[in-house]
Structure 1
Amino acid sequence: MIDMHSHILWDIDDGARSREESLSMATIALEEGIDTIVATPHCIDEIDLEGFAKEVRERCKSLQKVLNEREISIKIVPGAEIYMDLDILNRPGLDRLTIGEHRYILVEMPMGQVPRYAEDFLYHLQLKGFIPIIAHPERNRQIIEHPNILARFIDLGSLTQINTGSISGFFGPKIQECARILITHNMAHMLGTDAHSNRRRGPYIKQAVEHLYSWLDKDRAERIIYHNPNKVLKGDILTVDSPMEYRPRKGIFSIFKRR
């Protein structure tokens, strides 16, 4: 399996704190059935994007070398998690923050509200030739309350990545339910552990995969687990199903409220 979102690189953001912790995270990932990890360190306040991208690639090469020496069969792919900030769009080096040097780029929204400029940001990314992948939208409070917001972004060409911890319930029942809604309504396209350590926020995926198979038929589940991530890593065009509108179930008391 492919982990599309990980903070496995040491001493570059709030992820792994040492090379040994990075190696421990890779070992856990292997035990979980992961064979490829996309390293996506936070890119929030970086002014020199080219310098940041160079550091990411050097760190990936260094980690890959040690993994190979220790016979830990994990492939590390360079990427980044850019913050949804209009200023970043015009900085040189943005094209070097894509996943595996292709067109796909991981984008993080704030956890609170969806920014008013979100649609413009995603549109201008695409004008520049990128394909945005929205990271963990199920953790955004506004999307938790109004999941259909995400459908608009997908209709306009963006993809989404759901955190495995959200699916398994690590972040609580509200986020888990939002993840389920997005997954069952064609608003989820790939998984990422968003691992930050070798402890509670580790690269755990097995439990999430079990939930996925219980929520979807085998074909739809395996598109999210295997097919879509492989397309992204190859740089191939990924065609996805149209989002389905989410309609909340109305309880019996809502009938009386309308009278």
Structure 2
Amino acid sequence: MIDLHAHILPGIDDGSPDLDTSLKMAEIAASEGIRKMVATPHFITKERELERELILEKVKELNDLFREKGIDLEVYPGQEVFLSPEIPELLDEGKLLTLFDGGKYLLVELPMMSIPPYSLNIIHSVHLRGVKVILAHPERNREIIADIKKLCEFVRIGTLVQVNSLSLMGVFGRESMRTAEKILKEGLAHIIATDCHTARSRAPRMKKALAALSEKAASLLSVENPRLVMEGKQIEVPFAGYKAGHLGIAKKLALFFSGFKVVKEREV
């Protein structure tokens, strides 16, 4: 599996505080079947503008440590960028790290409590620059929790959707769990990632979440689509949304998600 959203770099944001914790997180990830992981520390305009050189240095440090310890996990550079009007300009200036540093996919986080009115315009501007936005854990956004149709607006302009495995396991509460399930049932999810921060309640765990899906759906969300991101290849997103029944991909995903069932056991 490939985990596209992880806060495993030590001492750089609100994720792993030190190398020992990063090592424990890596051991858990490997035991879950995760073989590749993108380190995505937070980038917040004017608050936490991490330099790419620091991230690249930390990634190399972890990979050296994991090889030394015999842990079968490779870490790649990236960022989780908090949505702001400055994103297109920051991209132009080379200040943002795309996933795998590949220049094709950018992980973007919405505010938890709202959807800013400029959101769709900013994402569209990013797309015009040849970079596809992956929306991180929309199931945790209060407006999307209240009305999932607001997420459809993002998908219609080509935005990809990443759901947290830990949301499906109840780590972020019942509302986020139910919204994550709804996103999957509606065929609006493209990627499942851990968004891990610790070696405890927010550890890099995927198996329990993926067990709730059909084998094909689990592979699509945790292996096939993440591999396309890694390779810089396109993931097809129908502009009318996945509910448009005349689209072949919609029918395909409907079959994938037909085996979805509610995850009742929580990770604590």
TM-score (norm 2): 0.85
Shift of 1:208: 0.6
Q: How far, CA to CA, are the matches of 2:206 and 2:43 in structure 1?
A: 24
Q: Work out whether residues 114 and 143 of structure 2, in 8 Å CA contact, stay in contact via their aligned partners in 1.
A: yes
Classify the secondary structure of the residue corresponding to 2:112: coil
1:149-193 C-alpha deviation (Å, 9 max, x unpaired): 111211111101100111111212211111111111121111111
Q: Which residue of 1 aligns with 2:94?
A: 93
Q: Equivalent residue for 1:225?
A: 222
Q: In the alignment, which residue of structure 2 is the partner of 1:197?
A: 198
1:86 is paired with a residue of what secondary structure?
coil
Q: Is the 8 A contact 2:41 2:79 kept in 1?
A: yes
Indicate the SS of the match to 2:163.
strand
Instruction: Verify the 8 A CA contact 1:119 1:153 in the aligned structure 2.
Output: yes
What's the CA shift for 1:48?
9.1
Provide Cα deviations, 1:175-225, integer angstroms capped at 9, x if missing partner.
Answer: 111111111112111111111111111111111111223xxxx33332112
- SS of match in other structure, 1:97: coil
**CA 1:174–1:75 in structure 2 vs 1: closer, same or farther (change >3 Å)?**
same
| Structure 1 residue aligned with 2:145 | 144
Contact kept, 8 Å, 1:15 with 1:195, in 2: the verdict is: yes
Cα deviation for residue 119 of structure 1 reads 0.4
* Displaced runs of 4 or more, over 6 A: none
What is the SS of the residue equivalent to 2:213? Answer: helix
Q: SS of the residue aligned with 1:174?
A: helix
Q: Distance in 2 between matches of 1:159 and 1:186?
A: 11
User: Cα distance, 1:100 vs. partner?
Assistant: 1.0
Matching residue of 1:24:
24
Q: Which residue of 1 aligns with 2:71?
A: 72
Contact 1:46 1:52 in 2 (8 A): no
- The C-alpha deviation readout for 1:71-108, integer Å capped at 9, x for no partner, is 101010110000101123213224x5101122101000
Q: Quick one: distance in 2 between partners of 1:44 and 1:184?
A: 32
Q: Which runs of no fewer than 5 residues in structure 2 stay unpaired?
A: 245-268
1:84 lines up with 2:75 in the alignment: no
- Aligned-partner SS, 2:72: coil
Over the residues paired in the alignment, what is the CA RMSD in angstroms?
A: 1.6
Partner of 1:206: 207
> Does the 8 Å CA contact 1:182/1:188 hold for their aligned counterparts?
yes
CA distance in 2, matches of 1:207, 1:105: 27
Return 5+ residue gaps in structure 1 as ranges: 246-259
Q: CA deviation at 1:244?
A: 2.1
Does residue 53 of the first structure (1) align with residue 55 of the second (2)?
no
* Deviations, residues 25-54 of structure 1 (Å, cap 9, x unaligned): 0001111111111100000135896x6111
1:86-134 Cα distance to aligned partner (Å, 9 max, x none):
123213224x510112210100000111111110110111122210000
Which is greater in Rg? 1
Q: How far apart are the structure 1 equivalents of 2:201 and 2:218?
A: 25
Distance change >3 Å, CA 46–CA 98, structure 1 → 2: farther
